C-alpha cells in the first residue's frame, strides 16, 4: 500500500471547514483547479466523496462528518510538533538523564546538582554511569545524554563541548605525613613513594617530565588505572603520595593534607559534551545549565 500524502490532511481540514473549493483554495493560496485536483486525490485516498453538491454549495458526507474532528486535531497536533518550543514546565517535566562522568565528579558535584534538580524539577531523575574511555559512541547512539571530561585534540563535529572549569594536579598525603613538615621541594617530593593514576596504565606523566628539569624522578610504588578514590584511599592509610586533580577530588580529600606540586605542570580544562541533536532541547539546555552551576562553586584554598 502506498504511503499517503500527509499534506492532504491540511487540505482536507480546510475543505471541511470552508465547505467550498473556491474559499478553501483562497485560504491556502491555491488556484481553484489545484484545489479541485486535491479534492479528487482525497476522494481516491479515502474512498469517499467527502463533499457533494447540494444546490450551489457542497455538503459533507457522513464519512466527512465522522472524521472532521479527528482531522482538525491531527493538523493542530502536527503544527504543535513543528512549532519551536517556547516554554519548559519544569514542575511537570518527567525524564531520566544519563550522565557519563569520570570518577570523582559525582562525589564532588553530585550533591549540589541533585539539590538544584530536585528543587526545580522533582520528576527528573539522573543516572550516572562510569566513563572507562573517551569513545563518543554513547553520545551518538543516545545511550548517554551528557558527558564530562577532558577534551584532547579536535572533537568530531558530531559532539558539542562547553568548558566547565580549569583544574590542576596537586599532591595529597595523610595527616601527619613527614612530607608536610618543612618546605616541599622537588627533591623531597620525588624522594617519597608515589601512587600513579593513569587511564592507560602508564607510569609516566607530565609531573615526571617536570621533575627531570631538577634532575630527580619519582619512585612509583603502584600504578592505578583511572581511580582517584582508590589512590586517595591508599594514601590515607599509608605514607604513599597521591597526585590528583584538585577540583575533581575536593571532597574525596577530606581529612587529608593537600599541597601545591613543587614543579610546574600544565592546567587542563574539564568540559561537558553532548550530541548536536540535543542542542535545542529545552530540558537538555536546562540540565546543562544545572551542571555548569554545580561546577562553578568556589574552590576552597589549602
For 221-270, the pLDDT digits (tens) are: 998 876 788 999 999 999 999 999 999 888 889 999 999 999 999 899 99
In the chain, where does the domain assigned CATH 3.40.190.10 lie?
90-164+273-295, 169-266
Q: Is 0.75 surpassed by the pTM of this model?
A: no
Over the chain, what is the mean pLDDT?
A: 87
Contact 160, 276 (CB under 8 A): yes
The single residue listed with the C-alpha cell 570518577 is 103
In this prediction, residue 288 carries a pLDDT of 96
Contact 290, 117 (CB under 8 A): yes
In this prediction, residue 225 carries a pLDDT of 77
Work out the end-to-end distance of the chain between its first and last CA atoms, rounded to an integer number of angstroms. Answer: 72
Contacts of 107-113 with C-beta under 8 Å, sequence gap 24+, read: 107/229, 107/251, 107/252, 108/247, 108/248, 108/249, 108/250, 108/251, 108/252, 109/291, 109/294, 109/295, 109/297, 112/293, 112/294, 112/297, 113/290, 113/291, 113/294
In the chain, where does the domain assigned CATH 1.10.10.10 lie?
7-82
In this prediction, residue 97 carries a pLDDT of 96
pLDDT value at 137 more than 50? yes
**7-82: CATH number:** 1.10.10.10
pLDDT value at 203 more than 80? no
pLDDT-based confidence at 28, cuts 50/70/90?
confident
Q: pLDDT over 70 for what percent of the chain?
A: 92
Tell me the β-bridge partners of 162. 272
d(CA 124, CA 144): 15
For 50-59, 105-114, 194-203, 240-249, which range has the lowest pLDDT when averaged over its residues? Answer: 194-203
Q: pLDDT over 90 for what percent of the chain?
A: 46
Per-residue pLDDT tens over the stretch 46-103: 888 888 888 778 888 899 888 888 888 888 777 767 766 668 899 999 999 999 998 7
pLDDT-based confidence at 274, cuts 50/70/90?
very high
Write the class of the CATH domain 169-266: alpha beta
Q: What are phi and psi of 240, to 5 degrees?
A: -70, 150
In this prediction, residue 290 carries a pLDDT of 96
For 14-18, 57-61, 197-201, which range has the lowest pLDDT when averaged over its residues? Answer: 197-201
In this prediction, residue 206 carries a pLDDT of 86
In this prediction, residue 202 carries a pLDDT of 65
| 140 closest CA partner among 199, 100, 200, 81 | 100
Topology (CATH level 3) of domain 90-164+273-295: D-Maltodextrin-Binding Protein; domain 2 (3.40.190)
Contact 290, 116 (CB under 8 A): yes
pLDDT value at 169 more than 90? yes
Tell me the β-bridge partners of 259. 171
Report how far Cα 1 is from the mean position of its chain's Cα atoms: 40
pLDDT-based confidence at 177, cuts 50/70/90?
very high
Amino acid at each position: 500500500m502506498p504511503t499517503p500524502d500527509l499534506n492532504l490532511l491540511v487540505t482536507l481540514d480546510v475543505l471541511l471547514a470552508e465547505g467550498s473549493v473556491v474559499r478553501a483554495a483562497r485560504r491556502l493560496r491555491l488556484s481553484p483547479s489545484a484545489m479541485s485536483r486535491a479534492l479528487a486525490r482525497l476522494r481516491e485516498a479515502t474512498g469517499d466523496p467527502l463533499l457533494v453538491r447540494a444546490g450551489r454549495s457542497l455538503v459533507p458526507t457522513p464519512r466527512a462528518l465522522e472524521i472532521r474532528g479527528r482531522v482538525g486535531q491531527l493538523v493542530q497536533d502536527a503544527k504543535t510538533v513543528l512549532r519551536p518550543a517556547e516554554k519548559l514546565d519544569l514542575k511537570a517535566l518527567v525524564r531520566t538523564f544519563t550522565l557519563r562522568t569520570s570518577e570523582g565528579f559525582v562525589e564532588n558535584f553530585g550533591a549540589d546538582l541533585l539539590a538544584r534538580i530536585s528543587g526545580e524539577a522533582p520528576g527528573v531523575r539522573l543516572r550516572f554511569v562510569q566513563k572507562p574511555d573517551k569513545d563518543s559512541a554513547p553520545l551518538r547512539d543516545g545511550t548517554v545524554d551528557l558527558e564530562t571530561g577532558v577534551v584532547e585534540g579536535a572533537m568530531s563535529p558530531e559532539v558539542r563541548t562547553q568548558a566547565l572549569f580549569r583544574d590542576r594536579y596537586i599532591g595529597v598525603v595523610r595527616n601527619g605525613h613527614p612530607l608536610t613538615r618543612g618546605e616541599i621541594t622537588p627533591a623531597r617530593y620525588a624522594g617519597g613513594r608515589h601512587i600513579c593514576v593513569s587511564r592507560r596504565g602508564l607510569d609516566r606523566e607530565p609531573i615526571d617530565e617536570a621533575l627531570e628539569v631538577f634532575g630527580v624522578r619519582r619512585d612509583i610504588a603502584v600504578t592505578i588505572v583511572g581511580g582517584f578514590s582508590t589512590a586517595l584511599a591508599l594514601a590515607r592509610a599509608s605514607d604513599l603520595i597521591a597526585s590528583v586533580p584538585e577540583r575533581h577530588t575536593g571532597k574525596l580529600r577530606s581529612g587529608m593534607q593537600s599541597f601545591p606540586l613543587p614543579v610546574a605542570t600544565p592546567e587542563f580544562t574539564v568540559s561537558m559534551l553532548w550530541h548536536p541533536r540535543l542542542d535545542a532541547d529545552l530540558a537538555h539546555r536546562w540540565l546543562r545549565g544545572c551542571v555548569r552551576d554545580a561546577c562553578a562553586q568556589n574552590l576552597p584554598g589549602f
